[in-house]
Structure 1
Amino acid sequence: MTDLIYQTQSYQQQMTATVTAVDEDANGVYLSETIFYPGGGGQPADVGTLTDSSTGTVYNITSAKRGNIHIIEGTLPVVGTEVVGQIDWDRRYKLMRTHTAMHVLCGVVWKDYGALVTGSNMDVLTGRMDFEFERMQKELVQEIEARINEEVANAHDVEIKILPREEAFQIPDLIRTKINLLPEGITEVRTVNLVGLDLQACGGTHLKNTSEIGPIRVTNYKSKGGINKRLYFELEP
């Protein structure tokens, strides 16, 4: 089993681990522990490097994937090699800002308008979310933009917990998506709580406080058919 450091320590930028297995077909390695987020929930996977502790050989990680395999460019280290992992922190931190901004947006839209999320995606400092709105107009978008920036400035602490499934599902409105995406076989649920604003199940990496997000600008909106309305946003560099 791999120790998934990123689940509870999203600010950790480096770790020492052992290569426990290799997958030559995927050109990847499994590690005893990892800080590399494998992607999911719309958040891209981390990239970075592994450095052989003995020889200094550097291996570029081009992606991490579900099952915690780390895809490497070129030759693979052998099983038993001790390596130092380093994530691309500038990119990761911007993704953390973006993902936390999405929770602010989700929290405001749910709290103020009662609209469920029907889809989402994100990249570095940009993202989009789809909601169940019957109508969307410029005045409403401006109102939402003002509200989400108020909540950023309110400096909500962000708390991460991993709960037994039964306990997690006793939390009202834990699932904000139109469809519950959590498979029945999952026994533990990771929750992200923007204290006083938004509490929901999520596997991604987040900030410690919403004040780190910075200003959010809603750049566009459009109808995606029926009652699905899409909001696009971006953050400052």
Structure 2
Amino acid sequence: MPLLFLKDAYLSTAEALVTGIRADGGILLHQTCFYATSGGQPGDTGFLERANGEKIMIAATVTGDTKAEIVHLPAPGQPMPEIGEQLVLHIDWDRRYKLMRMHTACHLLSVVCPYPITGASVGEEDSRVDFDMSETIDKAEVTAKLMDLVNGNHPISYTWISEAELEANPGIVKSKNVRPPRGQGNIRLVCIGENSSIDSQPCGGTHVSETAEVGQIHIGKIEKKGKENRRFRIRFGPAPE
């Protein structure tokens, strides 16, 4: 199943054929622009449009038996398509774009705080990244460094490496607990800055194309979660006075 969002995160609509209906009602397509919940980023919502204009509202998108299988879960009471039926896919773009901006902000935070990541969750208004660190750090200072990266308007691009190349360069994986999926041949790197001058790390999520698109963000809170774990809360907008 081609995952269209891997090459173009700005693709909000696409056409696809129905290839299967699961026992739980999940709809399988021959290709999709819907991102499935993974890596701390929620799956897309939106709707599938039938030829007669009827809409099938999608409440969640998840992975199936493999990471390459995307399952579109309809909201309760929705009509069901037929196998082989052609649909037009529409993601909730406003929601997706917020998640793209937030996910990119999480990458920038990992640049400002170069510590192993122990957990992350991307949200529409509030995201968190947990770091394996014991140092005390000032949230205003972190916010200022984040906004320097945002305002620098650094380009964001993608490149692919083999699993063997990843094995030879294990330091590019910042997550302490989650490793990039194996068995798919190649692994995508998200590169920030010209020639990855700011950052480069494996990630299958969706991101904006320039850091300025992230917009105004700030660290709302830094929480102590154990002796050597700190949770950073990223929020949109300027820091409150």
- TM-score, normalised to structure 1, is 0.91
5 Å-filtered alignment, 1:219-234, equals 219-234=220-235
Structural RMSD (CA)? 1.6
Match of 1:37 in 2: 35
Q: Using the alignment, how far apart are the partners of 2:84 and 2:151 within structure 1? A: 47
> 1:186, CA displacement in angstroms?
4.0
Q: Deviations over 1:27-68 (max 9, x none)?
A: 111111100000111110000111112x22210111111121
The answer on whether the counterparts of 1:97 and 1:125 sit within 8 Å (CA) in structure 2 is no
Match of 1:93 in 2: 97
Q: 2:72 aligns with which of 70, 73, 94?
A: 70
C-alpha distance 184-37 of structure 1, shift in aligned 2 (>3 A): closer
Between Structure 1 and Structure 2, which shows a larger proportion of strand residues?
1
> 1:180, CA displacement in angstroms?
4.3
Structure 2 residue 131 is the aligned partner of structure 1 residue 131: yes
5 Å-filtered alignment, 1:76-87, equals 76-87=80-91
Listed as ranges, the gaps of 5+ residues in structure 1 are none
Q: Using the alignment, how far apart are the partners of 1:232 and 1:125 within structure 2? A: 10
Q: Using the alignment, how far apart are the partners of 1:42 and 1:173 within structure 2? A: 21
5 Å-filtered alignment, 1:1-237, equals 2-23=1-22, 25-53=23-51, 55-66=52-63, 67-73=69-75, 74-110=78-114, 115-137=115-137, 140-171=138-169, 173-195=171-193, 196-236=197-237
Q: Using the alignment, how far apart are the partners of 1:172 and 1:210 within structure 2? A: 25
SS in 2 for 1:27: coil
- Matched residues, percent identical? 32
> 1:77, CA displacement in angstroms?
0.2
Q: How many residues are aligned here?
A: 228
Listed as ranges, the gaps of 5+ residues in structure 2 are 64-68
> 1:96, CA displacement in angstroms?
0.3
SS in 1 for 2:113: helix
SS in 2 for 1:123: coil
The answer on whether the counterparts of 2:180 and 2:203 sit within 8 Å (CA) in structure 1 is no
Please, which moves more after superposition, 188-197 or 169-178?
169-178
